């Protein structure tokens, strides 16, 4: 803004910012189909955002999905998750969530692609930061901003029942993904401590009510862990739990986490698990592994940095 006096330009530069996030690291994998960003916030803390391109197939259109974070770290403490190992610092603001989308959109602009889907599957438990997450979705959807439909947004939650019920009443047709990961309360509580407060039956009841109220299918996310939750018998019990006209199971072979004794199952066991679900009439997919060479699983890139808090720019 050269028409302004130098003193005014200095004042504006020191006082205001166009974004609450800045790219600290950017890594590309899968022949350009996966891009992971380590973003620096204004207080020097870091979060992760991933953009994934999917080519058109016989079953779906081409799409570009952004996986956004909702918290710095995560308080849930799931046994298989790299983010949980780093602990929890704070919630993200609405602006910091919105700006992840805007940052990626600007970066994509040079490649003539645009974001088609948003998933809250990055760092943090989205429903633990309810107001900022819902506020960001409404900001994206506003006609005078991005006009981005909530139907293209998925919120992944460990199953905080009161907030699922609250979300269902918002009038937002967002998609819900439940991070289930076990077919019984005893196993799930050992993996996800908050299950003791919100057991599986309560979570599935709230998820089904959300599906009926919004007409949106619920996806049950299930990280497959070798010898822990990947048997055919466990698949049969899972099928009985989630069978509903608006349900889908997304199987996710675990991304290896350094220092963890847990491991992904063999391809044969994963396929047997899927076949058992499909034989029971459950819509099921196995998520394609992306970006292993760039630590694309949630929390891994941040964990490899020497400092979780960087000096603010």
Give yes or no: 298 in active site.
Answer: yes
| Residue of 67, 74, 81, 298 marked catalytic | 298
What does 140-203 look like in DSSP terms, one character per residue? HH-TTTT---GGGEEEEES--HHHHHHHHTTT---EEEEE---SSHHHHHHH-GGGGTS-HHHH
Q: What is the CA radius of gyration of the chain?
A: 20
| Contact present, 91 and 78 (Cβ < 8 Å) | no
Cβ-Cβ contacts under 8 Å for 52 (sequence gap 6 or more)? 33, 34, 35, 64, 65, 66, 67, 290
User: Is 48 an annotated catalytic residue?
Assistant: yes
Question: CA 18: distance to chain centroid?
Answer: 25
Q: At residue 283, what are phi and psi to the nearest 5 degrees? A: -65, 125
Point out the catalytic residue in the list 48, 96, 125, 221: 48
Q: Which of 67, 33, 95, 61 is nearest to 153 (CA)?
A: 67
Element (H, E) at 268: helix 267-279
d(CA 253, CA 267): 9
List, in order, residues 6 or more apart from 91 with CB less than 8 Å away: 70, 71, 72, 124, 128, 129, 132
CA atoms within 13 A on the CB side of 196: 6
Active site members:
48, 298
């Amino acid at each position: 803004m050269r028409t302004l006096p130098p003193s005014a330009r200095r004042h504006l530069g020191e006082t205001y910012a166009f974004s609450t996030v800045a790219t600290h690291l950017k890594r590309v994998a899968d022949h350009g189909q996966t891009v992971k960003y380590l973003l620096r916030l204004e207080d020097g803390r870091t979060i992760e955002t991933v953009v994934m391109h999917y080519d058109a197939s016989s079953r779906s259109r081409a799409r570009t999905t952004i996986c956004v974070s909702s918290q710095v770290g995560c308080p849930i403490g799931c046994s298989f998750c790299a983010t949980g190992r780093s602990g929890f610092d704070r919630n993200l603001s609405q602006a910091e969530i919105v700006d992840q989308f805007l940052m990626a959109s600007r970066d994509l602009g040079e490649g003539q692609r645009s974001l088609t889907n948003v998933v809250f599957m990055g760092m943090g438990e989205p429903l633990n930061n309810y107001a900022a997450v819902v506020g960001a979705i409404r900001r994206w959807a506003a006609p005078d901003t991005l006009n981005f439909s909530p139907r293209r947004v998925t919120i992944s939650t460990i199953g905080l029942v009161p907030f699922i019920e609250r979300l269902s009443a918002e009038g937002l047709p967002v998609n819900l993904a439940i991070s289930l990961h076990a077919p019984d309360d005893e196993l799930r509580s050992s993996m996800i401590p908050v299950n003791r407060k919100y057991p599986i039956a309560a979570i599935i009841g709230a998820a089904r009510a959300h599906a009926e109220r919004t007409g949106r299918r619920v996806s049950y996310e299930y990280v497959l862990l070798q010898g822990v939750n990947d048997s055919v018998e466990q698949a049969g019990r899972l099928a009985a739990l989630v069978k509903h006209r608006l349900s889908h199971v997304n199987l996710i072979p675990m991304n290896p986490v350094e220092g963890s004794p847990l491991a992904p199952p063999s391809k044969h066991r994963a396929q047997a698990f899927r076949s058992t679900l499909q034989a029971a009439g459950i819509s099921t997919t196995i998520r394609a592994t992306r970006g292993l060479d760039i630590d694309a699983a949630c929390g891994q890139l941040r964990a490899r940095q020497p400092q979780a808090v960087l000096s603010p720019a």
